[in-house]
Amino acid sequence: MPKGFFKIPEPVNERIRNYAPGTHERATLKQEIERLRSQVMDIPMIIGGEEVRTGNKVSIHPPHDRKHLLGHYHKGDASHVQMAIRAALDAKKKWAALSWEHRASIFLKAADLIAIPYGDTINAATMLGQSKNVMQAEIDSACEMADFLRFNVKYMSEIYQQQPHSPEFTWNRIEHRPLEGFVFALTPFNFTSIAGNLPTAPAMMGNTVVWKCSNTQVYSARVLMDAFVEAGVPPGVINLVFVSGPVAGQEIFTHPDFAGIHFTGSTEVFQHIWQTIGANIKTYRSYPRIVGETGGKDFIFMHPTAKIEEVVVAMVRGAFEYQGQKCSAASRAYIPQSLWPEVKKRMEDMIRGIRMGPPENFNNFFNAVIDETSFDKLASYIDRTRQDKDAEVIIGGGYDKTEGFFIEPTVILASDPQYVTMQEELFGPVLTLYVYDDDQIEETVEILNNTSIYALTGAIFAQDRYAIEFLTDRLSDCAGNFYINDKPTGAVVGQQPFGGARGSGTNDKAGSILNMLRWVSPRTIKENFLPPKDYRYAFMDDE
Ligand code: NAD
């Protein structure tokens, strides 16, 4: 039991290193990339603190270098999901009873490990396994992961401090208990930090977790798990399994002790999961917490008073960093007719300068998309656009999967503002533009509002303050993260809590106190110091 009201170290965002030529960080990272490339890693599942190997090995290749073998992971089946559930339930009592400052210490240590001794390894693994350039790996796997852990510890302590009022002779208290049962963390491929945050946020609040990562993120998930174990996360608290989504779902969503899901991924998968949970609702001991951050069709709206160079940079960085594989990536933009010729020219110039290739070569801004399924899907949208009369590919559009899954940064010009690539999430380096008449701002804003099912991020660019106020107001339901004169990507933990509404998720704001509150079930305790000794009330006395 704690014997003090401990003050946690005040978190600050991890410093982002720039990896410029000649820096120490560049030299050590390059060495680590070489070291990882020169070995074949054998990656087991981690269940109840044990390494579990099945012999059913799946090979891991960099998306940009298909022939190179990075390692294998051991694929599991339903029996491993059951083992992981049992391990989580067995570990629960002891973990939930551990004083909060010790849980805090473990995750603060994990943050320091990931930022410093594991920094090069986690960045190199993310670059090789997920095809991220060095800056994209740095802001994600080293920095954002450390930020999630440190800020979540702060939010945890703030939650425990939230206590009710107590009138005389009474002490009212609230205990923020972990959920009863186990939590399922189901994570996406595109951010190592999100993959790490989804199991650690509930674990920090005293829950035990079954973590199923994406098959295309196993390589960096392994490094995270090593850091968590070294930091002192006890056996059974976080159990990492490598199984297919439906196999995991079949075991998890039919278990009576399933207490909640922390999900990030596509809208389609989340809706399927929600339906399954709804259909099985009578199976569960409690109503499971359902937290899901999902897809986006994120917009940039350019007002006629916007500065052209600012919008063009926001479109290029917003749409093409990490090959557009960010839920927040700009994928549709609205450009006023009066500025279009100049916008087009500058975009063509800027995109022409983008170098595409493996992230091991630091000159490359742009790398490969995650896998063949994604490559084929993106190529088919590009092919379809080439046939359609309502849209044309005006920049890029080339693709080649000989060496790796490379799709050029691609810009589509749509004459129909409801064209399919203005509506659907493609999750790749494809930006669709619609050029609107300068006199039709209100109508275009209305179209923007009604074009897609998503409401994740969005950006407006304008110099006129009346326009900024108007657009901010009219687009209030279109984005959970809204940017004024900035690109719609790059949210920072502790600064811009992240999440969207409509089809984009439950908007529980990852990296904020709102998210952490989802992993506790409060118990209110009233203690009476002077309990009454007579059942009768004063009004019943004789006059
Ligand atoms: P995905 O939905 O394909 O997969 C997410 C996870 O769900 C993976 O672990 C996958 O194996 C699993 N899964 C897939 N089908 C399943 C099923 N039927 N049952 C159970 N589990 C299943 O997503 P992805 O391709 O890994 O990630 C990209 C998606 O994630 C995009 O839609 C992107 O917008 C979204 N995303 C959202 C945010 C956000 O904060 N809103 C952040 C990152 C990514």
The partner residues of 46 in beta bridges, in order of sequence, read 51, 240
Are 191 and 65 within one domain?
yes
User: Would the CB of 189 count as within 6 Å of ligand 1?
Assistant: yes
355 within a domain of the structure (yes/no): yes
250 within a domain of the structure (yes/no): yes
Q: What is the mean pLDDT of residues 26-46?
A: 98
| CATH number, domain containing residue 311 | 3.40.309.10
Q: Which two tokens stand for residue 96?
A: 């939930």
491 within a domain of the structure (yes/no): no
Which is catalytic among the residues 327, 360, 425, 478?
Answer: 327
Q: Which residue has the tokens 């070995």?
A: 39
User: Would the CB of 188 count as within 6 Å of ligand 1?
Assistant: yes
8 within a domain of the structure (yes/no): no
Index of the ligand 1 atom closest to the CA of residue 246: 19
Are 345 and 435 within one domain?
yes
What pLDDT was estimated at residue 525?
A: 98
Active site residue 478: no
Give the tens place of pLDDT for each residue, 516-541.
Answer: 999 999 999 999 999 999 999 999 99
User: Would the CB of 186 count as within 6 Å of ligand 1?
Assistant: yes
Index of the ligand 1 atom closest to the CA of residue 374: 25
Q: What confidence category does residue 2 fall into, taking pLDDT thresholds of 50, 70 and 90?
A: confident
What pLDDT was estimated at residue 353?
A: 96
Q: What is the mean pLDDT of residues 329-357?
A: 98
Are 171 and 319 within one domain?
no
User: Would the CB of 264 count as within 6 Å of ligand 1?
Assistant: yes
Residue type, 496: Q
8 Å CB contact between 235 and 87? yes
Residue 296 has pLDDT above 90, yes or no: yes
Active site residue 213: no
Residue 18 has pLDDT above 80, yes or no: yes
Are 261 and 337 within one domain?
no
Are 105 and 221 within one domain?
yes
Sequence-ordered alpha helix ranges (H) in 44-164 = 78-97, 100-115, 119-130, 134-137, 145-161
User: Would the CB of 249 count as within 6 Å of ligand 1?
Assistant: yes
Give the tens place of pLDDT for each residue, 212-253.
Answer: 999 999 999 999 999 999 999 999 999 999 999 999 999 999
21 within a domain of the structure (yes/no): no
209 within a domain of the structure (yes/no): yes
Give the tens place of pLDDT for each residue, 423-439.
Answer: 999 999 999 999 999 99
What pLDDT was estimated at residue 234?
A: 98
Q: What confidence category does residue 3 fall into, taking pLDDT thresholds of 50, 70 and 90?
A: confident
Are 272 and 309 within one domain?
no
User: Would the CB of 272 count as within 6 Å of ligand 1?
Assistant: yes
8 Å CB contact between 230 and 181? no
For the chain, the domain total comes to: 2
Are 329 and 210 within one domain?
no
498 within a domain of the structure (yes/no): no
User: Would the CB of 276 count as within 6 Å of ligand 1?
Assistant: no
Index of the ligand 1 atom closest to the CA of residue 269: 2
Nearest Cα to Cα of residue 218 among 325, 74, 38: 74
The domain in which residue 194 lies consists of 29-294+505-522
**DSSP symbols for 459-526:** EEE-S-HHHHHHHHHHTTTS-SEEEESS-S----TTTS-B--EETTB----BTSHHHHHTTEEEEEEE
Index of the ligand 1 atom closest to the CA of residue 267: 32
Q: What is the mean pLDDT of residues 502-515?
A: 97
Task: Compute, in angstroms, the gap from residue 447 CA to the centroid of ligand 1.
Answer: 28
| CATH number, domain containing residue 261 | 3.40.605.10
What mean pLDDT value characterizes the chain?
98
User: Would the CB of 212 count as within 6 Å of ligand 1?
Assistant: yes
Nearest Cα to Cα of residue 498 among 508, 509, 512, 489: 509
What secondary structure letter does DSSP report for 399?
A: E
Task: Compute, in angstroms, the gap from residue 267 CA to the centroid of ligand 1.
Answer: 8
Residue 464 has pLDDT above 70, yes or no: yes
Residue 1 has pLDDT above 70, yes or no: no
Residue 158 has pLDDT above 70, yes or no: yes
Index of the ligand 1 atom closest to the CA of residue 295: 34
Residue 390 has pLDDT above 90, yes or no: yes
What percent of the chain lies above the pLDDT cut of 70?
100
Spatial distance between the Cα atoms of 119 and 112, rounded to a whole number of angstroms: 9
Are 97 and 219 within one domain?
yes
Are 302 and 286 within one domain?
no
180 within a domain of the structure (yes/no): yes
Are 241 and 360 within one domain?
no
Are 252 and 326 within one domain?
no
The residue whose CA has the least distance to atom 37 of ligand 1 is 294
As a whole number of Å, the CA-based R_g of the chain is 25
The residue whose CA has the least distance to atom 40 of ligand 1 is 293
Are 79 and 91 within one domain?
yes
Which is catalytic among the residues 293, 321, 360, 425?
Answer: 293
User: Would the CB of 508 count as within 6 Å of ligand 1?
Assistant: no
Spatial distance between the Cα atoms of 396 and 433, rounded to a whole number of angstroms: 14
- pTM score, two decimals? 0.97
8 Å CB contact between 289 and 261? yes
Task: Compute, in angstroms, the gap from residue 464 CA to the centroid of ligand 1.
Answer: 39
The residue whose CA has the least distance to atom 15 of ligand 1 is 245
Nearest Cα to Cα of residue 319 among 493, 487, 505, 134: 487
